[in-house]
Structure 1
């Protein structure tokens, strides 16, 4: 159950290699170092969101507040920088992460304490954050700018690799160690399998839910910080296009949408696969509508595959 590498988690990596091989026949530039590193940079934005989503889905829940946690963190961080105050500029990234953690805890309260289905609660929180942002900006793009640190985090390079990709990998490694080296990871999966039995065994399940949603919120906020650094600004609804690909990356990576089974290794592959697929579809001039259809079909196919495998094992 706790193995990082499973047949399901290897599937997106195989798919990524096949996409590169097939795409190179039509677009040879796919095999260039510049193109591949650019895809790693873009994959980091989606990957951070999918990393947080994986933690919540392992619980057997789902977080639909990702778009506006991302957007809210981007607006907050750029507003801090745009104030011109050196202290606020220095606090821009920590404030965005604290914002993400706070929204995550609010989500945890709704799910663990009020016992409201996570899909309903997090969707409502997403709507509230949208409304607050519109009230704050009057419906216009928010004022502010990205700091040099945010730009460097999003677009910088280290040893030839994108800084955003290295940040994503560092976050993944840190969370993987947290899940494997502490009881939290075991409790997380146990709740995904059977929350009532886990609670009766003496585990403080609300605490686990709080931490899981807080980590997810911080991952979404970090994604917002990087996107703001990449665009050098925040803008309305910048997180909206990421919700479906985020869930798709997690499901493609082998994490069961019902909870209890999966991990971050597969999610990394899922994010790489989705990013490369999106890029190839874009090069082929496939419209956004068809991309959404492809993502939805992939999610349904993986859900069907997981259901059939579960039935076969039973």
Structure 2
């Protein structure tokens, strides 16, 4: 059992080790970095990314990818805040949260139909779907910033505390994570997701409807992305266009840093949790240290957000190279 532990949890252990190093670095760079209040704030920020990453991880476990996350997040937030105008105030206010998530599920279902039944490459189809969603939202708002505001329930979900000391977004992430862990480890659907990621043709020949499983996975990805959008809209008390753009690369980077194989078939949710916390702390450290200023001194001028995107992109490239080499060796 001890011999198999590194094979299963090595990436997760490395991610947690990096978290400890970042905490020590933050403590040196900024007084109060290890205070309970600041760490609680970081966990609340991580919960938004963790909610979004949950659905993306399920898709990646199957060897697919969902690049429609940015505007699915925007759809979830904008449809939730605009539910009163679409469904009417009587239904729109109480159904704002489920309506926003439902719209995300619809995006996921379209992605699933295209990838599973039309056999389109997930990278191309979901990227195209992201552009379609963007066009629909721009048309919906007329190209202007939405004037709708979040409902009381959305604000409470994003900033309240049902349990003292635990923010509601973190509580949502904990519940969602527990359900996901149970699904992946104790249900037939979870076993089929892992199996398809390892060898889809063998799973199909064994009698499993792999197309249905793929459809479900993309629907779950859309639901989680839209749920993240609902939380973000509640946190900001409004929705806005391109509100999901900053989350695509951090989401994928968090998942691969946690040890989920981008080629499918391997990964644990605990690793994704570690990756999400690691990415959140990395963003915080980059904001504190401002490393782009050092590059500016040698003539390389990059805005802070661009520098973060470069870092996340390099992480994904390096991990992709490692996983690709591992698959070739196997």
TM-score with structure 2 length normalisation? 0.91
Q: Match of 1:49?
A: 52
Are the counterparts in 2 of residues 192 and 259 from structure 1 also a CA contact under 8 Å?
A: yes
1:14-47 superposed Cα distances (whole Å, 9 cap, x missing partner):
1111100111011121111111000001101111
1:155 Cα deviation after fit: 1.0
Query: Residue 131 of structure 1: which of 119, 135, 141 is its match?
Result: 135
Q: Match of 2:250?
A: 245
1:245 Cα deviation after fit: 0.5
1:137-159 superposed Cα distances (whole Å, 9 cap, x missing partner):
11111121111111111111222
Q: 1: distance between equivalents of 2:320 and 2:55?
A: 20
The yes-or-no answer on 1:146 pairing with 2:150 is yes
The yes-or-no answer on 1:161 pairing with 2:161 is no
Q: 2: distance between equivalents of 1:277 and 1:81?
A: 38
1:82 Cα deviation after fit: 6.1
The yes-or-no answer on 1:295 pairing with 2:315 is no
Q: 2: distance between equivalents of 1:271 and 1:28?
A: 23
Q: Match of 2:300?
A: none
Q: Match of 2:260?
A: 255
**Pairs aligned (count):** 313
The yes-or-no answer on 1:203 pairing with 2:203 is no
- Structure 1: which 5+ runs fail to align? none
**1:226–1:197 Cα change, 3 Å:** same
The yes-or-no answer on 1:219 pairing with 2:224 is yes
1:304 Cα deviation after fit: 2.9
Q: Match of 2:113?
A: 109
Q: Match of 1:282?
A: 287
**1:186–1:155 Cα change, 3 Å:** same
Q: Match of 1:271?
A: 276
**1:4–1:233 Cα change, 3 Å:** farther
Query: Residue 68 of structure 2: which of 48, 65, 68 is its match?
Result: 65
User: C-alpha root-mean-square deviation of aligned residues, in Å?
Assistant: 1.9
Q: 1: distance between equivalents of 2:230 and 2:68?
A: 16
Q: 2: distance between equivalents of 1:141 and 1:278?
A: 27
Q: Which has the higher contact order (CA 8 A, sep 6+)?
A: 1
**1:279–1:232 Cα change, 3 Å:** same
**1:115–1:310 Cα change, 3 Å:** closer
Q: 2: distance between equivalents of 1:55 and 1:5?
A: 18
Q: 1: distance between equivalents of 2:116 and 2:268?
A: 22
Are the counterparts in 2 of residues 78 and 228 from structure 1 also a CA contact under 8 Å?
A: yes
Are the counterparts in 2 of residues 82 and 145 from structure 1 also a CA contact under 8 Å?
A: no
1:243-297 superposed Cα distances (whole Å, 9 cap, x missing partner):
0111101100100010011121111110110011001111223411211111111
